[in-house]
Structure 1
């Protein structure tokens, strides 16, 4: 099997690792991560260094390609750009979990991730570096532009057009024929029945624009833990 590497040793990286292991098409050498120390282990694999170590690692381990396991769409693009600056001919692979379903006459770019339970229906087009997350579905004739993503349990009707860098959050439902522009985010649990343009955040049932959104603005965050009072001191 060919040797590959995973960029990003976070929780998302673990899920991508699981997809790759279950596909059993590649030999996974380890992770590259700029924020974890070299030698750090995750799910039995080592962090081998940062992106700057890539030329050395390619030669040492005969690496033929890899995948960027970064959940945030804009950050994923920055990492891809950094990799290509260091290694212009680097090859990016797709990973399709065995429990994902890819329909008839699908056209795929590179660097895409299809999580367990993902469904992509017939005649859809998925460009480069997209995420179709756990139990999410893209309806027939859908188009996902590069660096866009569907979060877990998203359900889209046919002929969706999802713009570059846009993200559809957890549990969103989208009716047939919707177009969503670039750099936009649809909030979790929303019902989308209208078209949306670029650089907006929309939320609700039905979804409505709640504010404008800056390019590269973070949208993946962990809620702050509620402070529990110490009743013994009251």
Structure 2
């Protein structure tokens, strides 16, 4: 099996690890995290360093690549961009929990995480670095654009178009033929009956746009902004 790392050692990183171990396609060497002390343990695996150490670590451990385990859509993209600047040979893998059901003619991009109990129905398309959380469903002909996400138990009807960086919150329902714009957040427990535009916060039953938001505005309760140091590598510390 090819050696990989998981970038991000939070609760989402634990869930990603579980998917990868159960899928049994890759060998996890450890975690990458700029906010954790090197050589400390997380779920029995070592924190190997930060993303800036990847060129050194790829050589040391013969790494093929890995997956970014950051729940916030904007922060996930920032980390992916940092990694591609540090090394052009790092391969972003996707992981699909064995209990997920993937329909016919479904296209899945790189860096995608599909959690336990997810259903993706026929002819759907999931672009790069999306997250489909526990027991969420994307019905037929759905399209999740890059860096978008479904929280646990989201139920999306057929022909959903979910814009880049947008998130649908915990336990929300979206009827068929709905378009949700880019950088939009749908609050938990929402019923979406009509299209929602770009850069919006919407929630309620039925959903109403409450206000506009910025692309990098936090929306997860545990979220902290990621601040990336302007350094090339700290591999010399190994």
Q: TM-score range by the shorter chain?
A: over 0.9
Matched, 1:12 2:16: no
- Distance across 1 between alignment mates of 2:165 and 2:188: 17
- Distance across 2 between alignment mates of 1:144 and 1:125: 6
Q: Deviations over 1:62-102 (max 9, x none)?
A: 00010000000000000000000001121100100001111
Matched, 1:130 2:112: no
- 3-state SS of 1:31 partner: strand
Deviation at 1:52, TM superposition (A): 1.0
Aligned to 1:31: 31
Number of aligned pairs? 223
- Distance across 2 between alignment mates of 1:221 and 1:15: 18
Superposed, 1:38-187 pairs within 5 Å as: 38-187=38-187
- 3-state SS of 2:30 partner: strand
- Distance across 2 between alignment mates of 1:41 and 1:215: 33
Question: Please, which runs of 5 or more residues in structure 2 have no aligned partner?
Answer: 224-238
- Distance across 1 between alignment mates of 2:195 and 2:33: 37
Taking only aligned residues, the RMSD between alpha carbons, in angstroms, comes to 0.9
Question: Please, which runs of 5 or more residues in structure 1 have no aligned partner?
Answer: 224-234
Q: Deviations over 1:19-74 (max 9, x none)?
A: 00000111100000000000111111010000111001000000001000000000
- Distance across 2 between alignment mates of 1:214 and 1:146: 17
- Distance across 1 between alignment mates of 2:86 and 2:131: 24
Deviation at 1:222, TM superposition (A): 4.2
- Distance across 2 between alignment mates of 1:115 and 1:156: 16
- Distance across 2 between alignment mates of 1:90 and 1:54: 8
TM-score with structure 2 setting the length: 0.93
Aligned to 1:230: none
TM-score with structure 1 setting the length: 0.94
- Distance across 1 between alignment mates of 2:185 and 2:119: 21
